[in-house]
Amino acid sequence: MKWDGKRLRQVVLVGFMGAGKSSVGKILAERLGAEFVDVDAQIEETAGKGIGEIFTSCGEGTFREMERAAIRNAVSAPGRVVAAGGGAFVDEANRQALKAYAPVVFLDVSVESVLERLSGDRSRPLFPGEKDAEKLRELMERRRPAYQEADFTVSTDGRTVPEIADRILALLARRPVPRREGGRG
């Protein structure tokens, strides 16, 4: 896919929980002069409750319907950096909408980094308590084929949020040919 100048300020970030999509997205939006849209935050605002509460009270199916609507809304206007939820890109309709909107960057993260970053975080509906490394690895591997459909892959391990944003901006500057860095992706 080629991206013209009008779409330069648009980027989509996907990846597993704890990859840094929201943190990196805020910096990218600031640097690009774009609006930042966190899909999960939009869902929480619309529903008036947290993601975990939505999962508990309404179920994952209802959450995923809300997620599809939030993504349609996120890609309805130009000039946005969109951080999609960890499982959003697995859904074919979401994946196509996000890919049609802007270059998609997969923030790749190791299980070890997820465990470190999310230790004590009880807000993750699929892993509300202690994080089980094997279950995390299993879920990551199930999602990986979808994530690998992104235009670019950036490893977040061992990098600060500003370094990750710098790497994404460098990759986008090399357009129109999407590139993957390193051996993953």
Q: For residue 120, what are the β-bridge partners?
A: none
2: in domain: no
178 in any annotated domain: no
Give pLDDT tens digits for 10-67: 999 999 988 999 999 999 999 999 999 999 999 999 999 988 889 889 988 999 999 9
- Cα distance between residue 94 and residue 98, in whole Å: 6
pLDDT tens track for 23-39: 999 999 999 999 999 99
Domain presence at residue 183: no
Q: Which domain holds residue 134?
A: 14-173
- Domain-located, residue 181: no
Q: Considering the domain boundaries, does residue 93 fall inside one?
A: yes
User: How far, in Å, CA of 149 to CA of 100, rounded?
Assistant: 12
Q: Is residue 133 part of a domain?
A: yes
Which residue type does 136 have?
Answer: L
Sign of CA dihedral 61, 65, 70, 75: positive
- Nearest-5° angle of CA 43, CA 38, CA 89? 85
Residues 6+ apart with CB under 8 A from 71: 39, 82, 84, 88, 94, 97, 98
In a domain, 40, yes or no: yes
Query: Residue 80: beta bridge partners?
Result: 35
- Judge whether 97 lies within some domain: yes
Q: What is the DSSP code (8-state) at residue 27? A: H
What are the tens digits of pLDDT across the range 83-140? Answer: 998 899 999 999 999 999 999 999 999 988 877 766 555 554 454 445 577 888 888 8
Q: What is the mean pLDDT of residues 141-161?
A: 94
Number of domains in the chain: 1
**The domain that contains 117 carries what CATH number?**
3.40.50.300
Q: Closest by alpha carbon to 33, among 11, 9, 6?
A: 9
Rounded Cα–Cα distance for residues 172 and 185 (Å): 16
